[in-house]
Amino acid sequence: MNIEELASEYVVGTLPLEQRAEVEQRLKHDADLRAAVDAWEQRLLPLTALAEPVTPSQHLWRRIQHTLAEPATRVPWWNLLAVWRGLAAAGLAASVVLATLLLIRPPLAEPSFVVVLVAPQSQAPGWVIQASNNQQIQLIPLGVMQVPADKALQFWTKGDGWQGPVSLGLVKPGQTLSVPLDQLPPLTQNQLFELTLEDSRGSPTGKPTGPIQAIGRAVKVL
Amino acid sequence: MFDYEACLRACARGDQQALRHLYEQESSRLLGVALRIVRDKALAEDTVHDAFIRIWRGAAGFDPGRGSARGWVYSVTRHQALNAVRRTARDVPLSEAHEPLAEPDDTFEFPARSGQIHTCLERLDPARRRCILHAYVDGYSHSEIAQVLGTPLGTVKAWIKRSLAALRECMT
């Protein structure tokens, strides 16, 4: 696809997500592509008038104001490419840990999903999650993680297509935790789990704000 | 007349009142644009929220040499909506979500509009014109357009590619 085609398909909207992301990366340094995209934006702009205006709900402006009042937030972790790259490597760690678990433990009550949570930088496995049904999971520590006295570990999950992560509560280092999932959709393959370091009472915003301590995805166990 | 460029300059200086004015001026139109693409009111409001945050934070980097300030505001919102809809991959079948689209080509009140883009669009074959409009206005992917039009995917891709080239030709 030449620059002109790429720019036109980007602006008209028909590129798939991966290609859209590539274009958006390229736009930062590729002046030719930028010029082509700008020209297409201007050509097609009048078509935005074909969408009927819709009055926003009353609290939308307050939400915007509220966000602006927050200290400049960092990019949420679920939008960080490095995290997703790291998760690929985590798959390898997962298989090692699972193999070990299979060897050293008596057969468990057939967990249908297993997650290995690894440290994002070192990929060192820190926790294992197992679910013997779709409604309850166990978070099992593989060691004792050091947590500063005024901080707490908060446990999160996010399924494909969810708007953002949902809190599963606070976790004490070194302790096995059972979490009911009855308020959430059933567990699915690839569902994301993670632990972040938050204030001692948990994240003030209801979304993860602190650094990720461990992260992994659900794998179905046959 | 609302001065979009002055508004963005004021935002860049940290004047929240300017962003508020932009919101009063454009939020319902921007929400309309986003809603056509994401087709869920809550997600559309999230999109407009995110767009206003991006406008606020990006105002200082806006370059009037690259196009109109108003156009930039719309582009930020549309691309935010397109990314959101591509990311979530619609789970509602199109036929249920958007019945009227199965109708013939008068979905887009065509003749009432003026301007170069409309003149040039009118020169396209109606089915090809609908491809462009479904893509731009409704945020449909190639396969969604193929589904709605009942036309093979490869044909839709070729039509869009050629129609965009024809539009560019017509508009220069």
Taking only the tens place, the pLDDT of each residue in B2-15 is 999 999 999 999 99
Kindly report, residue by residue over B40-57, the tens digit of the pLDDT.
Answer: 999 999 999 999 999 999
pLDDT band at A177 (very low <50, low <70, confident <90, very high): confident
Same-domain pairing of B100 and B157: yes
Q: Do A68 and B66 touch (CB under 8 A)?
A: no
* Structural domains in chain A plus CATH codes: 3-54 (no CATH), 77-220 (2.60.40)
Same-domain pairing of B112 and B45: no
Same-domain pairing of B82 and B26: yes
Sign of CA dihedral B107, B108, B109, B111: negative
CB under 8 Å, gap of 24 or more: what pairs does A27-33 form? A32/A3, A33/A3, A33/A6, A33/A7
CB-closest option in B49, B87, B164 to A12: B164
Same-domain pairing of B49 and B84: yes
DSSP code per residue over A127-147: EEEEEEETTEEEEEESS----
Same-domain pairing of B76 and B12: yes
Chain B nearest C-alpha distance from A107 (Å): 38
Output the pLDDT for position A112.
76
pLDDT band at B164 (very low <50, low <70, confident <90, very high): very high
Indicate the number of domains in chain B: 2
Residue entry with tokens 């990366």: A25
CB-closest option in A14, A17, A20 to B142: A14
Q: State how far the Cα of B34 lies from the Cα of B45, in Å rounded to an integer.
A: 8
Same-domain pairing of B9 and B72: yes
Residue of A nearest to B120 (CA): A43
**Among B88, B114, B143, residue at a domain's last position:** B88
Kindly report, residue by residue over A16-71, the tens digit of the pLDDT.
Answer: 999 999 999 999 999 999 999 999 999 999 999 999 999 999 999 999 999 988 76
Q: Is A68 on the interface with B (CB under 8 A)?
A: yes
pLDDT band at A212 (very low <50, low <70, confident <90, very high): confident
Same-domain pairing of B84 and B99: no
Show the domain range for B165: 94-171
Same-domain pairing of B115 and B163: yes
Residues 6+ apart with CB under 8 A from B59: B8, B9, B11, B12
Instruction: Tell me what the mean pLDDT of segment A177-186 comes to.
Output: 81
- A212 close to A194: Cβ distance less than 8 angstroms: yes
Same-domain pairing of B125 and B54: no
Give kind and range of the element (H or E) at residue A166: strand A166-171
Same-domain pairing of B12 and B71: yes
Q: Can you tell me the ipTM of this complex?
A: 0.90
**Among B88, B112, B145, residue at a domain's last position:** B88
Output the pLDDT for position B94.
52
Q: Do A54 and B86 touch (CB under 8 A)?
A: no
Q: State how far the Cα of A132 lies from the Cα of A112, in Å rounded to an integer.
A: 6
Between residues A94 and A141, the one the model is more confident about: A141
Chain B residues close to A13, C-beta within 8 Å: 37, 78, 82, 135-136, 139-140
Cβ pairs A/B, distance under 8 A: 133
Same-domain pairing of B22 and B41: yes
CATH number for position B98: 1.10.10.10
Between residues B31 and A89, the one the model is more confident about: B31
Output the pLDDT for position A71.
63
For chain A positions 105-134, those within 8 Å of chain B (CB to CB) are none
Q: Do A14 and B141 touch (CB under 8 A)?
A: yes
